[in-house]
Amino acid sequence: MSQFRLHGRRALLAGAAGLAATPALAQHHHHGAATPAAATPAVAPLPERVKLKLTWNATALCTSPIAVADREGIFARYNLDVELINFGASTEALLEAIATGHADAGVGMALRWLKPLEQGFDVKITAGTHGGCMRLLGGRGTGITEDIASLRGKTIAVTDMAAPDKNFFSILFARHGINPDRDVTWKVFPANVFELALSRGEVQAVALGDPLAYQYRKRLNLIEVSTNLSEDYADRACCVLGVRGSLIRSNRPVAAALSQALVDAQTLVSRDHDIAARTFAAYAPGGVSVTEMREILESHTHGHSPVGTQLRDELQAYITDLKRINVIRANTDPARMAERITANVFA
């Protein structure tokens, strides 16, 4: 799968040595503030080894905690034998694979999953994994500044019209009085063509996820107008863990063990960016150095992994946002939908 489908299912960050038996009270530091994430209950290891299939996007840096959970024995600590499946097809196909038992769980981006989940797959979100990984970048000499209003009338490159970055920045535009359908123009290109589109003046800005977004910003000296950690989104997870509904109903402790292992892994990564950068080097798309990966991970909030009520509230807020930009149906009740698509496996 090309690394550019990546944000569709972006990521679980996993990995934590020595955190397993204790509730993971994570802290993330953003703009100098420490925000405690929800404390997740301590989960005991399963009484016997259980095999699970977990889908992920192996080229998305924010999924590096999954690799860490595998390499550092975090899954094993909970008596889980996890087979990682790199899944490159559409989100609908991914959710169907989980719902129908071809996989047991998967990690991806809330802003890509919520629309298909509105239509009803037997998949429940049990944890958020982290925040940060999408960037809105403007070319110099285009009139674009760090003020989001400067994007009015501009053309923005995206990888597809349902991309989570397009959804997120559309929400941000709407908040700032910019109509995302009329006041800006979105153009679809493969991510590896963004640079050419900018240089030819076909677009003045790009919206995409890390690690590419970070690399483009640095290499092309682009202006970072915004990220998905701006404003109150600084305290919201963007990537989530979805578990097969039938597994939760038949064996909730397994779903709890998997969710806790991934939260532990995120917590470890938030404290030790090196471990994730080194582990992920085996999967990283070409040309991303370990140093760059560490810098990117430092800009994310891998210590923010909400579960339970906090997770449901964050997803309800996203559903409300997506209604505002006409992605979620006008008659969908955000509170009811958030309740339906989440499961508190620790309760």
**Residues pairing with 106 in the sheet:** 55, 242
Tokens of 23: 């509730």
For 131-161, the pLDDT digits (tens) are 898 999 999 999 999 999 999 999 999 999 9
Residue 244: closest CA among 341, 99, 128: 99
Q: Could you tell me the pLDDT band of residue 59, with boundaries at 50, 70 and 90?
A: confident
The answer to whether the beta carbons of residues 99 and 165 sit under 8 Å apart is no
Question: 108: which strand partners?
Answer: 240
Q: Which pLDDT score, from 0 to 100, does residue 339 have?
A: 97
CB 150 within 8 A of CB 144: yes
Lowest-confidence region among 30-34, 155-159, 173-177, 320-324 = 30-34
pLDDT attached to residue 41: 59
**Using an 8 Å Cβ cutoff, are 305 and 26 in contact?**
yes
Q: What is the mean pLDDT of residues 282-293?
A: 80
What are 243's strand-pairing partners? Answer: 105, 124
By mean pLDDT, which of 98-102, 288-292, 320-324 is the weakest? 288-292
Question: Quick one: average pLDDT of 154-174?
Answer: 95
Q: How far apart are CA 293 and CA 299, in angstroms?
A: 10
Tell me the percentage of the chain whose pLDDT exceeds 70: 87
Structure tokens at 339: 């309740």
Task: Please state which of the ranges 89-93, 172-176, 223-227 shows the lowest mean pLDDT.
Answer: 89-93
Looking at per-residue pLDDT, the higher value among 10 and 96 belongs to 96
pLDDT of 67: 92
121: exposed, middle or buried (Cβ count in 10 Å: 0-12, 13-18, 19+): buried
Specify the pLDDT at position 19: 33
Q: Calculate the alpha carbon distances from 67 to 51, 118, 124, 165, 271 in Å.
A: 16, 29, 22, 24, 16
Whether the pLDDT of residue 288 is over 60: the answer is yes
Residue 267's pLDDT band (cuts 50, 70, 90): very high
Q: 7-16, 258-267, 268-277: which has the highest mean pLDDT?
A: 258-267
What whole-number distance in Å separates Cα of residue 45 and Cα of residue 216? 43
Asked if 53 and 83 touch (Cβ cutoff 8 Å), the reply is: yes
For residues 306-321, average pLDDT: 96
Contact (Cβ atoms closer than 8 angstroms) between residue 235 and residue 304: yes
Is the confidence at residue 23, as pLDDT, over 90?
no
Percentage above 90 pLDDT, the chain: 71
Confidence at residue 290, expressed as pLDDT on a 0 to 100 scale? 86
- Give CA–CA dist 73/80, Å, rounded: 9
The 3-state DSSP class for residue 206 equals strand
In this predicted model, which residue has the larger pLDDT, 132 or 342?
342
3-state secondary structure of 270: helix
Tokens representing 251 are: 């064996």
- Between residues 337 and 89, which one has the greater pLDDT? 337
DSSP 3-state assignment of 29? Answer: strand
pTM to 2 decimals? 0.85
Mean pLDDT of the chain: 86
The contacts found for 158-162 with CB under 8 angstroms, 24 or more apart, are 158/186, 158/187, 158/188, 158/189, 158/206, 158/207, 158/208, 159/4, 159/5, 159/7, 159/188, 159/189, 159/190, 159/191, 159/208, 160/188, 161/186, 161/188, 162/91, 162/112, 162/115
Residue 201 has pLDDT above 90, yes or no: yes
Neighbouring residues of 204: CB distance < 8 A, sequence distance ≥ 6: 138, 139, 142, 143, 144, 154, 155, 156, 198
What's the pLDDT band for 40 if we cut at 50, 70, 90? low
More confident residue, 26 or 187: 187
